[in-house]
Structure 1
Amino acid sequence: MSQQTRTLIAVDPRRARREGGVDRKARSTPGDRVVGAVSHVVLTIWAIVVILPMLWTLLSSFKSTREIFASPFGLPAQWNLDNYASAWGKYNFGQMFLNTVIVVGAALILVMLLGAMCAYVLARFSVPGSRVIYYLMLAGLTFPVFLAIVPLFFILQGMGLLNTLPGLILTYVAFALPFTVFFLFSFFKSLPYEIQEAAYVDGASEWRTFFQVMLPMAKPGLAAVAILNFLGLWNQFLLPVALNTDQAKYVLSQGMAAFASAAGYAVDFGALFAAVIITIAPVLLVYIFFQRQLQGSVTQGTSK
């Protein structure tokens, strides 16, 4: 082997293989091609099944009820926002949207703060009973929500928080906390102990080490679990229906159900479809803007 070839191999092995005629590319077998083709067909069908109803709902949100029944699959005769204005003001979806933002926003901040602190302590410190606490958190993931409705009703009633937004916030936090702790536990567990010890050597307290050193290092996991919690809390239906019967404090999910069933067959379907778009738009926007961060965070968490 010449000196030039050795140098080329050291600098660019891939180019050396190409020039040497030994570039071995992975060849797909007929079975691989069949699996790939079937996968693409299935994913295409699935995408059509998901996208077409959403597109139909969006188009129907610009139509009147008469036009929806006369031409359900046609384009709107006039593209106007009357249905959105009606849903937002006349049917009080503006107030329900505000209630949802308050409840979900406050619950998300609390559950991320408490969940991160709990996961950090369980993952980084040998606290007596920490394994028991961790397994109880895992047990909370398997506990069906509907079994807790009756106890929650009387607990919130005794605390004076029934039919209130603070009561709904606390309930959301309680049910989202086990998942948050379970998800963040592996992230904090995988962080190097040398950095934590270096912070102690520099004189940092436990609180400062957590908030300024360890928490920023777990940012990928925090981002992923925050997005997942947002999606779950925004779409929560059973808890607000059972624990929040005051119409002035309705959230979007129960407002949608009440709107669809209140008038029977005399529903304003144009406004109803506009309300659906108002309800799902924040979820879609959050996922569209943060999907790369979510996928990368989940991949990083599973590879550790």
Structure 2
Amino acid sequence: MSAADRPVLPGASAPASAPERRTRWRRRLPWWALVTALALAGLLWVFPFIWMVSASLKSPAEIFAGGLSLIPEQLRLDNYSRAWTDGSFRVYLLNTVIVTVGTVVIVVVRCALAGYVLGRYRFPGSRLILGILVATLFVPTGYTIIPIVKLSMQLGLLDQLSGMILALAGGANVASILIYAGYFRGLPSELEEAAVVDGAGFWRTFTRIMLPLSMPVTATVAVLTFLFTWNAFFLPLVFSFSNPALRTVSVGMQAFVGENSTDWSGMAAAGVISLLPIVALFAFMQRYFVEGIAGSVKS
């Protein structure tokens, strides 16, 4: 009995013929081509990170001799111990965590309050404030470093982590404010009306109702601020000129660059150490990050 003559059981679909299978394969061909192209692009995108992990397990001579090879001939785990101890990355990592957490807290609180006011209230000059905030996007960072350093010196904060935190958190953060403003603008006004009926004031309405509702946006702003602060180089470099113990991980990479040679394997190990917290944070909060971006754009 041929396949075409076999009886079809109730609820079961008939086997596809050869022409139908070819037609189905042709329809799926563009989809498979797109998946293959995206997979190759993704591999090309992450290849530098994979190569850095591989280089952190090699000797300096093997890094140059191996080229783009990813498999070390001999695992050199001492690169990580050298970066952690000799390169003082245990100190730099702690400094970076303190500076990043402090900056994230200040930026989230400040941008949430500013976004709430600009998104929910209309007052004389609100459009002018938004225009000034947007205009600050076109101001280069180099133009603000001189007044920041001078003000920090006058306040006695130039050689302290607290000064670095205030300098990094004192920017306009226009994108974060606009994300909050767009999200708060899309919330129904009945929430505030019900809060007023219950006797809640501005601060209680913000902390008890509005801020908890904006958790996806808060996660987005926290991730963006975390990435910016963790990778900041210019301001931490200026603040740690006279005190190398205040260096962050991005500035601490200079410890592996000598006058006559560079410890490339130690630098690669330090780079892996500095990137692991970022990868872990984004893997944990990527869902909230996407939801926050989508919510603010939709609003």
Output the CA distance in 1 between the equivalents of 2:259 and 2:32: 48
Name the structure 1 match of 2:42.
47
Normalised by the size of structure 2, how large is the TM-score?
Answer: 0.83
Letter matched to residue 237 of structure 1: F
Q: Report whether the alignment pairs 1:243 with 2:239.
A: yes
Give unmatched runs, 5+ long, in structure 1.
Answer: 1-27
- Does the aligned pair in 2 maintain the 1:111–1:176 contact within 8 Å? no
Evaluate the alpha carbon distance shift between residue 32 and residue 80 of structure 1 in structure 2; reply closer, same or farther with a 3 A threshold: closer
TM-score by length of 1: 0.82
Distance 1:77 1:298, change over 3 A: same
Return the offset for 1:162: 1.6
Cα deviation for residue 31 of structure 1 reads 12
RMSD of aligned Cα (Å): 2.4
Aligned to 2:118: 122
> Structure 1 residue 79: deviation in Å?
3.4
Query: In the alignment, is the contact (CA less than 8 A) between 2:83 and 2:269 conserved in 1?
Result: yes
2:223 is aligned with 1:227? yes
Which of 77, 94, 97 aligns to 2:93? It is 97
2:120–2:184 contact (8 Å) kept in structure 1: yes
Tell me the residue number matched to 1:281. Answer: 276
CA contact (8 A) 1:168 1:244 kept: no
> 1:230 deviation in Å?
1.0
2-structure distance, mates of 1:289, 1:229: 16
- Mapped to 1, the partners of 2:64 and 2:190 lie a distance apart of 67
Structure 2 residue corresponding to 1:271, chosen from 266, 275, 278: 266
Q: Deviations over 1:77-123 (max 9, x none)?
A: 44353111110111101100000000010010011011101111122
1:34-183 alignment to 2 at 5 Å? Answer: 40=35, 42-72=37-67, 73=69, 75-79=71-75, 81-175=77-171, 177-183=173-179
How far did 1:42 drift?
4.9
Shift of 1:76: 2.6
CA deviations over 1:26-67 (Å, ceiling 9, x no partner):
xx9x99976x67754553343222222211111121222233
Distance 1:288 1:187 in 2: 24
Displacement after TM superposition at 1:300 (Å): 2.0
Separation (CA, whole Å) in 2 of partners of 1:77 and 1:174: 48
Given that 2:87 and 2:256 are in contact with CA atoms closer than 8 Å, whether structure 1 keeps it comes out as no
Percent identical residues: 33
SS in 1 for 2:158: coil
Secondary structure, counterpart of 1:175 in structure 2: coil
Contact 2:95-2:248 within 8 A present in 1 as well: yes
1:148-196 deviations in Å (ceiling 9; x for gaps): 1222222222222223211111111122632221211101111111011
Shift of 1:74: 5.2
Letter in 2 for 1:104: T
Matched residue SS, 2:170 = helix
Find the counterpart in structure 2 of residue 191 from structure 1: 187
